[in-house]
Chain A
Amino acid sequence: MEKNLALILLISPFIGFLFNIFFGKKVSKGLSGAIGTMTVIVSFLLSIFFFAQVNQNGKGIEVSLFEWIQVSNFKLDFGILLDQLSILWLLFVTGIGSLIHLYSISYMHDDENIHKFFAYLNLFIFFMITLVVGNNLLVMFIGWEGVGLCSYLLIGFWYKNQPYNDAAKKAFIMNRIGDLGFLVGTFIIAYVFSTLNYTEIQPLIIDGKTNSSLLGVAALSLFIGACGKSAQLPLYTWLPDAMAGPTPVSALIHAATMVTAGIFMITRMNFLFDITPEVQNLIAIIGAVTSLVAASIGLLQNDIKKVLAYSTVSQLGLMFLALGLGAYNVAVFHVITHAFFKACLFLGSGSVIHALHGEQDMRNMGGLRKYMPITFWTMMISTLAISGIFPFAGFWSKDEILMVAFEHNTALWVVASIASIMTAFYMFRLMYLTFFKEFRGTETQKNHLHESPSLITIPLVILAILAAIGGAINLPGSMWLNHYLEPILVGKHEVHILGTQEYMLMGIALAGAIIAIAWAYSKYIKQNFVPKVDSEIEDFSKIIYNKYYVDEFYTFLLIKPINALSNFFRTTLEPALGKVVFSFGTIVNGISNQGRKLQTGSIGLYLFAFVLGLCAIISYLFIAR
């Protein structure tokens, strides 16, 4: 019973994929979208069912589907593990996934390849579920690669546009680097423990009899994997480019679900990271630096989706900071609230882009509040949430991260605080430029301004409500999430007694956010400032606007040398080698040219030579005797 239900939960989106890829073109666009959405909703309902069960019993369900690999003492089953952590991820992956499928029906309605879009989205959900529910690292790797593939397919969905294809390739290749790390980590763990099952590794590690230096390498490799998938320094540059994909894709894959896979994996393997404090420190530092760098880039971006993309990188950085400090439950909490408000923000920006027929530059927006009230209000709530304003969801989760950081290391707290203050600034900059003042676009655009249809606004409203109240799952008083995750995070209790210090920290964070908002208000509303056109940006702003020239730096550091090297091989080395190889041919040719003169074709001569040879052999035999 449980096995079958778990199987349906896993397979349902895959059926949607098969339907859409084979029959999608033949049925109407509406049906294609409806089937795609229904299959995900089925998974969502089953996730709720399992959630109820696991929440009641307090222990996970593990089902083995079939024996996968058996080599000497290494045995691996293809199994499903539905415990507190994976079900939590399932809930918001399939939940937000359903909403975004619903949204896409309307958003992608004009696209001729809508069936393909839904097929890819369904395939993505399938792989994401595989990633989350697998009971060992190798099953997770299948999902890990699968979501990477779907990300590639969906970023390059509008494949007729070459820069979009390039962005897709960039995402794929950068993820490849991380995936290699993941694989290496998996191999080391398989080598050390002869198993990859989480439930089997955990007691072995807690025993503490294993070679911890090797495990440190494993943890580091896994973290590199997480860096690639979750867009951390130095592998983050693919995520902003990934905004080339359709907006629902950005919301689903590049904000709410796939990019949190790294956090999921680290939380899954928390027992491993706990015994490798050096790696943990590295994670915390990389997280903090990423959040600061990405937030500062976000300050000056003018593309509405790019701002959100950098904000995602920055928020992921905060989550990694929490992971590095051992506060896995806090990171998970922020993943969930972030999924709510960032999905809402992306879908809202999609609604704006939809209304403006593809315009993404905020300099050509403005004044949309009057025309799109629902989009405005939902985005406003999410913006308040991401900025960390009381009492929205982001306030609680971000505040906990800051508190944890403060307890461990003041420097990290300062960095994270600056990053979150910057977040408040650029998010309100986005809101002010998009929704306030007068419309700055063309007249034709202005005449077409309209609120989006209900299929777009309903998911927005639901997500906005979640963004407003989502913090309730882990309020400082109740800490439901912490208790819920206790079986996964054995022996780790981040207990916050709300003392003076905590209230003070909350106050500082809140005050910082409000000051940032006020600053944004005075700059973009009072002084009516509109960002300059690209060519007029100067000095330090120009450096930030151009993202610290990181892409150019990578081009200079990696791509140029590799190109130069391949050019050298192509123009110099290959012809030289070719000559050497060719010379053998020439020599053989020369010899054969001499040799072929023997072949006169005259049978008489051959026979004569034959007899002569015979005589020679016979006389040799006689003489040798």
Chain B
Amino acid sequence: MGNILNQIGIENYIFLSVLLFCIGVFGVLYRRNAIIVFMSIEIMLNAVNLLFVAFSTYHQDSEGQVFVFFSMAVAAAEVAVGLAILVSIYRNLGSIEIDKLKNLKG
């Protein structure tokens, strides 16, 4: 059976995922532009999706792939809402620097 994992080992997928995830995390932590932060979150999400699919294939179980479809659909919706919020923030503040969003200070 032409399993792609026979050509590239599962550990490579894991390394890639972890790498992508860490890139996402550092992006979120260091960048101040809201859109970049947002993109970083998407990278983290996709890292997880990748891992999901990889393990799904590894275990010969299609459930993981189904889940990824769901998570992608939800992510699409989330992006739409998130971008709408960002547009609205930009209209109100003239900027999307997250350091300036301090209205929620207790």
Contact = CB atoms under 8 A, between A and B. Distances in A.
B100 to A, nearest CB: 10
Contacts of B45: none
B29 A599 contact: no
B25 interface: yes
Interface string A499-525: 000000000000000000000000000
Contacts of A596: 106
B99 A604 contact: yes
A299 B6 CA distance: 122
Nearest to A614: B25
Given A608-B29, A611-B25, A611-B29, A603 B101 contact: yes
A69 interface: no
A488 to B, nearest CB: 81
Contacts of B99: 602-604
A557 interface: no
Interface string A259-282: 000000000000000000000000
Interface residues of B, number: 13
Given A602-B99, A603-B101, A604-B98, A597 B106 contact: yes
A601 interface: yes
Contact of A599 (B25, B28, B98, B106): B106
B28 A611 contact: yes
B104 A601 contact: yes
Interface in A588-606: 595-604
Interface in B64-106: 98-99, 101-106
A588 to B, nearest CB: 15
A607 interface: yes
A598 B102 CA distance: 13
A596 B106 CA distance: 5
A167 B29 CA distance: 80
A602 B29 CA distance: 12
A607 B29 contact: yes
B92 to A, nearest CB: 15
Interface in B28-64: 28-29, 32, 37
A251 B28 CA distance: 92
B29 A598 contact: no
Contacts of B103: 601
A607 B106 CA distance: 17
Interface in A569-625: 595-604, 607-608, 611
Interface in B16-32: 25, 28-29, 32
Contacts of B104: 599, 601
Nearest to B103: A601
A482 to B, nearest CB: 90
A499 to B, nearest CB: 102
Contact of B106 (A598, A603, A604, A608): A598
B26 to A, nearest CB: 9
A603 B40 CA distance: 15
Nearest to A596: B106
Contacts of A611: 25, 28-29
A601 to B, nearest CB: 3
A602 B106 CA distance: 11
Contact of A604 (B25, B29, B105): B29
Interface string A203-235: 000000000000000000000000000000000
Contacts of B102: 600-602
Contact of B32 (A599, A601, A604): A604
Nearest to B32: A604
A603 B98 CA distance: 6
B101 A599 contact: no
Contacts of A601: 101-106
A597 B106 CA distance: 6
A622 to B, nearest CB: 14
Q: Which of A595, A600, A601, A611 has the most CB of B within 10 A?
A: A601
Q: Which of B28, B104, B106 has the most CB of A within 10 A?
A: B106
Contacts of B28: 607, 611
A598 B106 CA distance: 8
A602 B37 CA distance: 14
A603 B85 CA distance: 15
Nearest to B25: A611
A411 B93 CA distance: 100
A598 B32 CA distance: 20
A604 B29 CA distance: 6
B33 to A, nearest CB: 12
B44 to A, nearest CB: 10
Interface in A537-573: none
A267 to B, nearest CB: 77
Contacts of A602: 99, 102
Interface string A20-54: 00000000000000000000000000000000000
Contacts of A607: 28-29, 37
Contacts of A604: 29, 32, 98-99
A611 B106 CA distance: 21
A508 B45 CA distance: 113
Nearest to B41: A607
Nearest to B102: A601
A599 B28 CA distance: 19
A109 B32 CA distance: 89
A605 to B, nearest CB: 10
Contacts of A595: 106
A599 to B, nearest CB: 3
Interface in A367-417: none
Contacts of A599: 104-106
A263 to B, nearest CB: 74
B45 to A, nearest CB: 14
A604 B103 CA distance: 14
Interface in A465-517: none
Given A601-B104, A604-B32, A607-B37, 18 more contacts: A596-B106, A597-B106, A599-B105, A599-B106, A600-B106, A601-B101, A601-B102, A601-B103, A601-B105, A602-B102, A603-B98, A603-B99, A604-B29, A604-B98, A607-B29, A608-B29, A611-B28, A611-B29
20 contacts: A595-B106, A599-B104, A599-B105, A599-B106, A600-B102, A600-B105, A600-B106, A601-B101, A601-B102, A601-B104, A601-B105, A602-B102, A603-B98, A603-B99, A603-B101, A604-B29, A604-B98, A607-B29, A607-B37, A611-B28
The 4 closest A-B pairs by CB, nearest first: A599-B106, A601-B105, A596-B106, A601-B102
